[in-house]
Structure 1
């Protein structure tokens, strides 16, 4: 199955590459780096990634949407949102990290569903679309084909949870061990929900 990692200017590097590290270890997924129009995309931390145009890859499979400060202008970009919405509707699964859930929420696909996001930006995320049942304390949330996670490193916990759901707990444990990562296996245990400073 293909994983289409949707990048945009000023995405948060670990939001994308934490889950990429986990999913790539399973041996079950072909990873594609895509953007709306293709070309080089630069993360908030200055990492430049060559991407293919979104339309150039399979429309099924898994869509992974990171967050980051680059989400702020994109919630007002109707062209981007229309293409994101189409890609998310066609995907078999859609995973978001951090404020990537705000982008997905703005398409309307999360209306009436449970979802979460970075707790340091949760007020802004809720303001983007209050029709979503936002969960204020969760490391990640699953509602149908949609997996949403809290901030930054939570994407790795979510990706491991996704592997456990799809391939079994042993596959997830093996991926965590290979990455030397201490997996927070309890999706309801969000140690960063308390004392979160709003961004």
Structure 2
């Protein structure tokens, strides 16, 4: 299980909500009831949380979250319930399984890094009429016929930074590179749709 190195990425959080696309009776006991486990690790000076949810609303549900601790409000950072080794052991049981995965990836960048003529930077500029000033702080776009289903953004007040969340669906196979592949793909889509450039590949931990 290769874990994307979020300390070197603009990606703050990746949610990979997978639905098994095939019957795997040997996994039934892991999916029969909802289970949620969380572990933490350090990537340089960055704390990263890895969470796995199996079962729940569907008996084919296998869900993985990876996030920097800075993604969460300070009072709501999830607490570790297990070790990263235990997460890896559970994850290995699902390797080779085909899934339909819903991807939600959140990025944070300075507004100044976005293209001047791009959608988000253009819409988040101040509009003034006399003494009256207005600024759009959040918005969203639905997409049809593209790799992404939607993206939305929210300006981080006082920081001149913006968080952008993209959503998509993909058919995938869970393997050692599954999470790295999803982050890299999300980085590329974020680069193309939001920054107007292609992003580089993400390094990994382990």
Structure 2 length-normalised TM: 0.26
More strand by share: 2
| Bigger Rg over Cα | 2
More helix by share: 1
